[in-house]
Amino acid sequence: MIREKRPTLADLVKKTGFSQGAISRAFNGNGGISDATCKKILKAAREIGYHPNPSARNFKRGYSGRVGIILPNLQNANYSEIYEHLDTVMSSGGTATSLALTHYCAEREADTILHWSAGETDALVINPIPKGVNLDLYRKLKSWGYPLLFIYLSFGNEFDCLTVDYNQSLRQALSYLKDVGHKKVAYVGFVPPAAVAYGKHGTLVKALEDVGLAFDEELSVMHASGAEAGRASFEQWQTLGRRPTAVVAFNDETAASIYCEARYLGLQIPKDLSLLGGDDVRDAELIGLSTIRNDRREMASKIFSMLKNRMRDFDSPIQRQSLRSELVMRQSLGPPSKD
């Protein structure tokens, strides 16, 4: 595979027409140039994929012995737990880790990728921004021979990825809901506008069709997830004058928020609302939340193994692997109320 040359300072000078000194001031934030000039320089740098190398290494550098981990947040315990396992596994293998959080901001993700790939880290593990907003940047890094591995989301056969297969576990949970009398199931979780359903939402829609249950789109709440989901969901249902009998939440954090709001309103789980989470974080058991478990320790080990393979032989075949999930039945699923 022929490698493309990583953009240099000279390339950015040529693209912008600004001097090396002006470009240096834009990146260092030392003043001496206008805000407008600074924005133009940084925008152009992002477009061509340039970032100054803070460690005085270039792409012919020796290895830093460090892998960058880029996650959305740590508020979701799933992410904090996967990072703990990654750090433990990689440290035992002689590799240090750096952690960055995107908070679902595409610009923050892009800046971190450009910064770290310029010499701070030898490879990146990324839970990417939804819908592949930075896909062109990922492709640039691949063309430069820089190792990337994506978790939870994949981009076809272009990149190494490790995902979790929720389909069978969801089908088990939905079959149970159907058997005890539910007719429809709603979804709660942030879903970016798209022509087709994808991710956890897409898996749910397909699984509902497979088991013969209806997707309750009207009562689904697709503009909120996490700690805000409970209040947002019940406000929407109050406006509509009815609520679903069963909900599949994007993750345990979202489900816990719905659970707490339901209890605050005097509702009983599962009598008034059946609730399924996802990820089986540590606190899920405390509230009796039925959920879908994935083994994060196994996931961390697979990530490190796949990443070492890519770093050892960049031109080896693309690695696409998927971990099986497991339905954990607790007390939050049951028959619908007869009222």
Which residue type does 82 have? Answer: I
The domains of the chain, with CATH numbers, are 1-52 (1.10.260.40), 167-293 (3.40.50.2300)
- CA gap 133, 115 in Å, rounded: 18
Tell me how far apart the alpha carbons of residues 162 and 51 are, in angstroms, rounded to a whole number. Answer: 28
* Residue located via tokens 């954090």: 253
Q: In terms of pTM, does the model score above 0.95?
A: no
Structure tokens at 173: 């949970």
CA 207/CA 99 separation, integer angstroms: 34
What pLDDT tens digit does each residue of the chain (339 aa) get? Answer: 556 677 777 887 788 887 776 777 777 666 677 888 888 888 888 787 777 664 444 444 456 789 999 999 998 899 999 999 999 999 999 999 999 999 999 999 999 998 898 888 999 999 999 878 999 999 999 988 899 999 998 898 999 999 999 999 999 999 999 999 999 999 999 887 664 556 788 899 999 999 999 999 999 999 888 889 999 999 999 999 999 999 999 999 999 999 999 999 999 999 999 999 999 998 899 999 999 999 999 999 999 999 999 999 999 999 999 999 999 999 999 999 876
Amino acid sitting at position 131: K
Question: 274-290 burial string, b = 16+ CB within 10 Å, else e?
Answer: bbbbbbbbeebeebebb
Quickly count: other Cβ atoms within 10 Å of residue 326's Cβ: 13
Angstrom distance (rounded) from CA 33 to CA 18 = 11
For residues 291 and 173, give the distance between their C-alpha atoms in angstroms, rounded to a whole number.
Answer: 9
> Per DSSP, what are the bridge partners of residue 249?
188
Q: Contact 65/97 with Cβ under 8 angstroms? A: no
